[in-house]
Amino acid sequence: MIRQHANRSALLGSTVLGAAILLAAPPAAAQEATLMEEITVTAQKRAQDVLDVGGTLDVVGANELSERRVEQVRDLTSVVSSLDIKEQVAGAMPIITIRGVGLDDFSSTNNPSAGVYVDEVYLASLAQMSFDLVDLERVEVLKGPQGTLYGRNSTAGALNIVTAKPSTTGFSARAAAGAGDYDSYDLEGMVNVPLSDTLALRFAAKTIQQGEGYYFNRVINRDIGRRDLWVGRALARWTPSETLDVNLKVEGQRSRSEMGQGEYFGQFPSPLSPGAPCPGSPRCSNFFGYVDLDGDPFRGDWSGQHFYDFDQFATTLKVDWKLGEATLTSVTGYANFARSFYIDTDASPLRQTDFIQTDKIHQLSQELRLAGSTERLEWLLGGFYSTDRVKVTTPGFLEDLFNTRTMSVADQSTDSLAAFAHGEWKLGERLSLVTGLRYTWEEKSNRAGASDLVALCPGSALTLAPCGSGPIPLSFIDQTIDDTNWSWKLGLNFKADPLTLFYASASQGVKSGGFFSGMTTSTAQLIPYEPERLVALEAGWKRRVPELGLQTSASVFYYDYHDVQTFIRDTSGALPIQRLGNVEEAELYGADLDLTLRPPGLEGLTLQAGLGLVHSELGAFATSGGVVPSGNELPNAPALTFNGSAQYEVEVSEGWALTLQAGAHYSDEVFKDALNDPVLLQDSYWNFDARAALALTAHDLEIAVWGKNLGDEQHLTQGINLAALGYGNRNYNAPRTYGVTLSKRW
């Protein structure tokens, strides 16, 4: 442990030393800056070079997203440091943690701590995060609270997903077809059609078909985890004048796939596997003597079905209207989402606590912004309204453990209003003051509960009721909560020269309170959790050095975190559960370093690296099992993460170009719950991927071979330890995959 801390200190020292060397280098001339390729972002609700944004953010462009096969939100960990994305259930529901701040929950009625925005429209439920990416312009990962411009539920940061827009400059198209192991193939296409000088259409579509799953279920003697996914999008852009820009988007996704299941582990020694480390090993027994001896996390004896179906429709209308020196922006978003899936919680051939979950979500949001600038001020004023309804129905199958079945329901409605202002005040030629303020009102109404159906004879062991008794209520709540809060930001930006930015800021973000929506056996388990609040201090710098082909940034941060929302173990009812509760306080601090290098003497070579350091410490908190003393690490908060990639492009003969690319991702050890349960600890690991592509440049034709997780490393993404019921389960990342892709552009 001492050696680990020493290594992290050395890394932090190297970061500071590197910053000093770069700052000592002579500044680039202003005319050289204009020759450099700027990275344009909209992190502050307006187009800016990334060097003008006083905050830490990573930008992943369209080419990198495609070449690194970032197909879902979960894949961003391979290209962004200080980012942890776990899946609460295998193949679905990614939970985003940035710099150790995230969410430890699976409730569809909950909102992520890192706000996810698709073309500036906020996604209201955790259930909506498992979508596939297609035809994007870029993804922006903003680190640290983003409450003033992005609103509630952005305490960890924000994820901006920006789709490619129609263009009137000319016709263009792209088609790609790929095949890989596990009997998979994918097709993707895009067409951009200008209809006039002022109107253009863009269409994009994608399908993924996987005929063999990563998992094998010995009970039904076949693989599971097959995929049948379709994605489609249509966009229209109308620019009738220089003052008006109208963008309309309609998109949908449909999945009729299968879900993987968690790996079983038991709690008790078994004569079938003497010497197994119990609890926590698959070779340990549950109450019924079941053990799993094969040691393969992707093979099991799962009961029940494995379907994962969802349908999503969404539309967005964005209008930008220039009114003299100001621009009025309207963003209207609507989404309709429905899904259903089966989970085998005990991961055994028995039906102890299996369930089917069905979610239905409707959401509507409207944002209005007025922005402009004067000689001394860049200003923005805005208002926001949203309403959403989430309905959850969950039949539970407890035949083998309690000889009964249950039904859980939740019906939650949320309304929110906000007003916000943001300004950058020029205090001099190089110094500017950043101010931001947001007021938010929110109301949530929830009608939820669970019942024992007493469906089987001779009766339920859960409530001791005989069959024929009729449903017996276990828990019920019909409650409305409301909250008003302020988010704010105060910062200073100092532009030492056109290519160097120093910044420092203080900000506050707030995440809403709410209701747990899982299976409960007492009303006390449905008590709403409180809002959380995070105050962040951050300082950093960014620099672009054209003569070295270098762009780099570094930052340090400190977080004062209150009423942290995290999983706590609750045994107050007949069934022990993990539900969301509050921890009074936590503290985090750390650093980020990112660089991109294109050495002038090695044309075609691009090197990228990102390093994240995080120290996290939870305060003391109470559970039904007693008080947990202060000092635990936050869940999903590895102390060190690293991402690196190298790409080399070379012309191998006239008209032919070769691109070689390799990437690596490292994560330090990390706990998966606030209790720091050792059976839910993931040791440090490396993941590697690679790609080689040969292009016929004159015809915009390319064939590529690729591989992901080349070392076939299995690391824990999430788990649950239900010791009182005699079992638990763990979910793991996908195994090694590889394939070939042929693409053509017009």
| pLDDT greater than 90 at residue 350 | yes
Query: Which band of pLDDT confidence, cut at 50, 70 and 90, is reported for residue 108?
Result: confident
Surface-to-core class of residue 295, CB atoms within 10 Å of its CB (0-12 exposed, 13-18 middle, 19+ buried): exposed
Q: What is the pLDDT of residue 520?
A: 86
Top-level CATH class of 2-262+297-745? Answer: mainly beta
pLDDT tens, residue by residue, 68-89 = 889 888 888 889 989 888 877 7
Report the C-alpha gap between 149 and 382 in whole angstroms. Answer: 9
Q: Are 41 and 140 in contact (CB under 8 A)?
A: yes
Across residues 261-275, what is the average pLDDT? 94
Q: Are 36 and 51 in contact (CB under 8 A)?
A: no
Least confident of 247-251, 582-586, 613-617, 645-649: 582-586
Q: pLDDT: is 336 or 720 the higher one? A: 336
Q: What is the pLDDT of residue 576?
A: 67
pLDDT tens, residue by residue, 658-677 = 999 999 999 999 999 888 99
727-738 in b/e form (b: 16+ CB < 10 A) is bbbbbbbbbbbe
Query: Which band of pLDDT confidence, cut at 50, 70 and 90, is reported for residue 214?
Result: very high
Surface-to-core class of residue 678, CB atoms within 10 Å of its CB (0-12 exposed, 13-18 middle, 19+ buried): exposed
SS3 at position 457 = coil
| pLDDT greater than 60 at residue 7 | no
User: If DSSP states are collapsed to H, E and C, what string results for 294-356?
Assistant: CCCCCEECCCCCCEEEEEEEEEEEEEEEEECCEEEEEEEEEEEEEEEEEECCCCCCCCCCEEE
pLDDT tens, residue by residue, 586-622 = 999 999 999 999 999 888 999 999 999 999 999 998 7
Question: Which residue type, as a one-letter code, is found at position 290?
Answer: Y
Least confident of 71-75, 203-207, 221-225: 71-75
| pLDDT greater than 50 at residue 344 | yes
Across residues 437-453, what is the average pLDDT? 95
CA distances from 127 to 159, 236, 309, 449 (A): 16, 28, 12, 19
Q: Which residues are within 8 A (CB) of 367 and not within 5 positions of it... i.e. 6 or more apart?
A: 120, 329, 330, 331, 382, 383, 384, 385
Question: Which residue type, as a one-letter code, is found at position 18?
Answer: G
Report the C-alpha gap between 440 and 151 in whole angstroms. Answer: 8
Phi, psi of 246 (to 5 degrees): -115, 125
Q: What is the pLDDT of residue 615?
A: 97
Phi, psi of 314 (to 5 degrees): -145, 145
pLDDT tens, residue by residue, 408-419 = 999 999 999 999
Report the C-alpha gap between 654 and 697 in whole angstroms. Answer: 9
Within 10 angstroms of residue 652's Cβ, the number of other Cβ atoms is 10
pLDDT tens, residue by residue, 41-68 = 787 888 888 888 999 999 999 999 888 8
Omega prior to 279 cis, within 30 of 0: yes
Sheet of strand 57-61: strand arrangement: 57-61, 136-143, 157-163, 114-118, 121-122
| pLDDT greater than 60 at residue 170 | yes
Query: Which band of pLDDT confidence, cut at 50, 70 and 90, is reported for residue 37?
Result: low
Take residue 435 and report the two structure tokens written for it.
Answer: 């101010």
Q: What is the pLDDT of residue 178?
A: 96
**% of the chain beyond a pLDDT of 90:** 72
Query: Which band of pLDDT confidence, cut at 50, 70 and 90, is reported for residue 13?
Result: very low
HSE at residue 180, side-chain half, CA atoms within 13 A, is 25
Query: Which band of pLDDT confidence, cut at 50, 70 and 90, is reported for residue 572?
Result: low
Across residues 492-516, what is the average pLDDT? 94
Choose among 669, 565, 571: nearest CA to 618.
565
Report the C-alpha gap between 4 and 640 in whole angstroms. Answer: 10
Q: Which residues are within 8 A (CB) of 38 and not within 5 positions of it... i.e. 6 or more apart?
A: 49, 50, 51
| pLDDT greater than 50 at residue 90 | yes
Query: Which band of pLDDT confidence, cut at 50, 70 and 90, is reported for residue 698?
Result: confident
Across residues 303-326, what is the average pLDDT? 94
| pLDDT greater than 90 at residue 357 | yes
Q: Which residues are within 8 A (CB) of 2 and not within 5 positions of it... i.e. 6 or more apart?
A: none
| pLDDT greater than 90 at residue 444 | yes
Q: What is the pLDDT of residue 24?
A: 37
Q: Are 272 and 290 in contact (CB under 8 A)?
A: no
| pLDDT greater than 50 at residue 497 | yes
End-to-end CA, the chain: 56
Across residues 468-488, what is the average pLDDT? 93
Take residue 346 and report the two structure tokens written for it.
Answer: 């005990």
Q: What is the pLDDT of residue 184?
A: 96
Surface-to-core class of residue 413, CB atoms within 10 Å of its CB (0-12 exposed, 13-18 middle, 19+ buried): middle
Least confident of 163-172, 269-278, 569-578: 569-578
Query: Which band of pLDDT confidence, cut at 50, 70 and 90, is reported for residue 624?
Result: low
| pLDDT greater than 90 at residue 128 | no
Beta-bridged to residue 162, according to DSSP, are 138
Q: Are 19 and 11 in contact (CB under 8 A)?
A: no
Take residue 147 and report the two structure tokens written for it.
Answer: 């409450």
Give me the torsion for CA of 673, 100, 141, 380, rounded to 10°. 110
Q: What is the pLDDT of residue 524?
A: 84
| pLDDT greater than 60 at residue 144 | yes
| pLDDT greater than 70 at residue 1 | no
Q: What is the pLDDT of residue 9?
A: 40
Least confident of 92-101, 278-287, 432-441: 92-101
Q: What is the pLDDT of residue 571?
A: 67
Query: How many residues are given for the chain?
Result: 746
Take residue 181 and report the two structure tokens written for it.
Answer: 């192991």
Choose among 381, 376, 382: nearest CA to 425.
376
pTM of the model: 0.89
Query: Which band of pLDDT confidence, cut at 50, 70 and 90, is reported for residue 369?
Result: very high
Take residue 736 and report the two structure tokens written for it.
Answer: 């090694």
Q: What is the pLDDT of residue 4?
A: 41
Strand blocks (E) in 632-711: 640-653, 656-667, 670-671, 681-682, 685-696, 701-708
Q: Are 483 and 432 in contact (CB under 8 A)?
A: no
